[in-house]
Structure 1
């Protein structure tokens, strides 16, 4: 037991009731916070007022975010130099600050580097060079294969007697070449602006699109988007995260070398779940930052607004509501970091486990943002206050990167699978 000799307020930091951070961690946190405050938040608010077409137009301020982010000098190579526990904490601090600034831009920056991170993970220098300095995207959802991409166990998790869903992005894999046809969905982050993609496609290796059990065959590959046969649809018009350009990408007999594949037939689903798990951890940190931003906005407002002859914060009910919001922000942070640590450090992670954390965090963030908006009263619905933007931005998070109810169902299915292997039977 640690004893105090006098009554003092608790230690507190930007990230709440934080264990002491090292000098290096504080320096990184402060630099990213300033970037989020001075670049991401004002830029996100500016882009929110533009049309989807204006956001991606040549000369749009959107493109400035990449050069500004590059000045931070933060990438996976930095994290690799740190002890594992510290690397997780630093990655969490960075992600939270980015989300605090603007969730749409935070997701755009993360998606932009996804193909490069995959190239690094498989150790392919040619693909690293191909992706370096380019805006990337992650093509995994198809127009007719949205949540179906999360189906791994066809025999127990699919309609009896029916083959799985091979999707709309299809590849024919030959000896030296892959030919791609079809399209990804409109929800691909950075799809409207990407120069290179990490794509997950249904694949025919010469024996059809399905394995004997009906599960679709697949291929994961790095795909340059300046090749003949590649075209893009209009950018998606959305209610929230308008700073994140999304849209379809079409393929008409697009040919890439087979060596651009990062996972072929037998490795496809293992790579698939690893990529999804990696992406899900970013969602957790990002929307922890969003929850914190909403809480801080509400905390400031209740110290300025008077009702009943006194500041809102001096009313007992307001204090309860502020306390409840702070509790939920801390819950988001705890779950986000535990999920991140599990994904980065456990011998065998799983996307269903990471995805379930994304559900908890985004739903708690939505509650915080909703309560913050309620504390603003009528002013919260006004476009003059930033809280309504956070409300729109966060609502999308309950669907993106996997719809929350479906992901919770997948977690229940995972519990069923683990129980069959002897888990929780002690």
Structure 2
């Protein structure tokens, strides 16, 4: 049936665009998180952006105010999971978008903080749940010589005679104890402030670091949740970077650190599946966050174009400006749709895959970059000054094209996945 309207009125639109009606619960959650993003994340994010990295994490820094206030929101993922899956996906998306609208750096920090606790719940280990509750967490995977290599899932990603790098941090697994030596890279989000870490690394179970047979070029691995106050653990200096300066990042060093084997959440056979599950969670959060950042750029551009006059008229009255704004709206709606579809596939599909999640992350961050770039252009020379917040958004989103998997590499992996699916029958119907 055709839905008939008695008149042509402006369409219903909400904070998250051309949205189908939200339930009372969804609207209440969105409103609560939006106020937090507006009143806490946005002003604190801008303040932290101007500070030196070591001052961001110092006692009394506004960063700690943001963390304390975020804890008061009561956004327990276990509570969200009690909703029907389709509803839980939309709520998670609404939350992530509002956080990214406020400040992408702090939003990423908040997402990473939860990862050790979420994993502890997922494996059902009460000791680890207690260890991680009310603690700042981090996800430790990236290493100086094992960035892209750390997420290799199959032999097809290696050169003809190549082997996956062992990396810069390794574990020797004993009967009751795991001994860790080495370092994670300076890109560990929350690395300089975390109290617990979800850690992945190459592991020697007594027969070397590499597998056998078809897996002889791939390293064995282990996943653990580690309290970061153990003897032998130290931190590097906070990373100084151009974007997401409100997100503390830095190295974590391990010198003969002894960890009880019961803290392991994935041994040899479960390692890759567990690692990819963590990676997928991180990627879906990135998608929602940078939809929010792109939306913030669109709103700044709309405000500026309605105030700035050129050629005797407001910028928004020029047809070319309307086209450019229209392109930004279109791209934002596309990014939001991809972000939610990716999140739904990751959370609901009986057999998801991290390369599909990475596809969503690539698509969203590329669209976000185009939106922020266009907004930056509309500001003209004013956009290059610190007076206008668009330049901060430009720097923040630019980092996202590399963060959580460099976009070209992630897209290459999607091509490899498509080839494998074709060989398994996909596209031959």
Number of the residue aligned with 2:276: 273
1:87 alignment counterpart: 88
Rounded Cα–Cα distance in structure 2 between residues aligned with 1:334 and 1:163: 38
**CA positional deviation for 1:157:** 1.9
Q: Deviations over 1:342-382 (max 9, x none)?
A: 00000011100000110000010000000001000111001
SS at 1:253's partner residue? strand
Match of 1:140 in 2: 141
- For 2:204 and 2:391, locate their aligned partners in 1 and report how far apart those are by CA, in whole Å: 47
Which of 239, 242, 247 pairs up with 1:244? 247
RMSD: 0.7
Aligned to 1:201: 201
State the distance in 2 between where 1:222 and 1:279 align: 16
Instruction: State the alpha-carbon separation in 2 of the partners of residues 158 and 198 from structure 1.
Output: 26
1:274-353 equivalences in 2 (<5 Å): 274-353=277-356
Distance (Å, rounded) in 2 between the aligned partners of 1:117 and 1:190? 16
SS at match of 1:266: coil
User: Deviation digits for residues 35-54 of structure 1, max 9, x if unmatched?
Assistant: 00000000000000000011
Whole-Å Cα distance in 2 between the matches of residues 220 and 83 of structure 1? 30
Give unmatched runs, 5+ long, in structure 1. Answer: none
- For 1:243 and 1:309, locate their aligned partners in 2 and report how far apart those are by CA, in whole Å: 40
Q: Which residue of 2 aligns with 1:56?
A: 57
Counterparts of 1:388 and 1:150 in 2: how far apart (Å)? 32
Deviations 1:210-245 (A, max 9, x none): 001221000000011101000011010000100000
Distance 2:384 2:136 in 1: 34
Q: Aligned pair count?
A: 425
Q: What CA deviation, in whole Å up to 9, does each residue of 1:55-93 have, x standing for no partner?
A: 011221111112101111112112121111100000000
Q: Tell me the residue number matched to 1:65.
A: 66
- SS of residue paired to 1:50: coil
1:105 is aligned to 2:106: yes
Match of 2:224 in 1: 221
Match of 1:41 in 2: 42
Which range moves more in the overlay, 66-75 or 23-32?
66-75
**Shift of the alpha carbon at 1:169?**
1.3
Match of 2:280, SS state, is helix
Q: 1:159: how far off? A: 2.1
Shift of 1:162: 3.0
Distance in 1, Cα, partners of 2:67 & 2:130? 18
Name the CA distance, whole Å, in 2 between partners of 1:162 and 1:278.
29
TM-score norm. by structure 2 comes to: 0.98
Matching residue of 1:183: 183
Tell me, in whole angstroms, the C-alpha distance in 2 between the residues paired with 1:143 and 1:408: 22
Which stretch shifts more, 159-168 or 275-284?
A: 159-168
Provide the rounded CA distance (Å) in 2 between the counterparts of 1:70 and 1:143. 32
Task: Give SS of 2:269's match.
Answer: helix
- Decide which moves more: 160-169 or 181-190: 160-169
Provide Cα deviations, 1:152-180, integer angstroms capped at 9, x if missing partner.
Answer: 112x2212233211111100011001110
Q: Once the 2 structures are TM-superposed, how far is the Cα of residue 329 of structure 1 from its aligned partner? A: 0.6
Query: Secondary structure at the residue paired with 1:166?
Result: coil
Aligned partner of residue 273 in structure 1, secondary structure? helix
The correspondence of residues 383-402 of structure 1 with structure 2, limited to 5 A, is 383-402=386-405
**Other structure's SS at 1:303 match:** helix
Q: Distance in 1 between matches of 2:192 and 2:241?
A: 13
